[in-house]
């Protein structure tokens, strides 16, 4: 299992992430999947601090964490060059 972690600059600080940093964590089955998700995240202007981890990330209460996988974020698992 791999985890692609990133900070969503757009969603941080308001809504469910009011006064918090919004972290997005996408679970991947393989390193190849994680690299595709990482590439897509880096193409999006609102995503910062994108990285791949092989251990499950934990964040303290100053973060709003959204966890997803390919069942609900399928678009992130295909190369999306239009996400620039």
Q: Is the pLDDT of residue 80 over 80?
A: no
pTM for the structure as a whole: 0.89
Predicted local distance difference test score (pLDDT) of residue 84: 59
CB 18 within 8 A of CB 33: no
Q: Is the pLDDT of residue 82 over 80?
A: no
Predicted local distance difference test score (pLDDT) of residue 26: 97
pLDDT digits (tens, 9 = 90+) for 16-59: 777 888 899 999 999 999 999 999 999 988 999 999 999 999 99
Q: Give the residue among 63, 59, 68, 13 at the shortest CA–CA distance from 41.
A: 68
């Amino acid at each position: 299992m791999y985890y692609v972690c990133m900070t969503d600059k757009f969603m941080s600080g308001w809504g469910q992430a009011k006064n918090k940093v919004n972290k997005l964590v996408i679970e991947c089955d393989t390193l190849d999947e994680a690299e595709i998700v990482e590439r897509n995240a880096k193409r999006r202007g609102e995503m910062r601090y994108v990285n791949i981890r092989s251990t499950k990330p934990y964040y303290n209460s100053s973060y709003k964490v959204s966890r997803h996988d390919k069942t609900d974020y399928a678009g992130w698992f295909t190369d999306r060059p239009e996400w620039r």
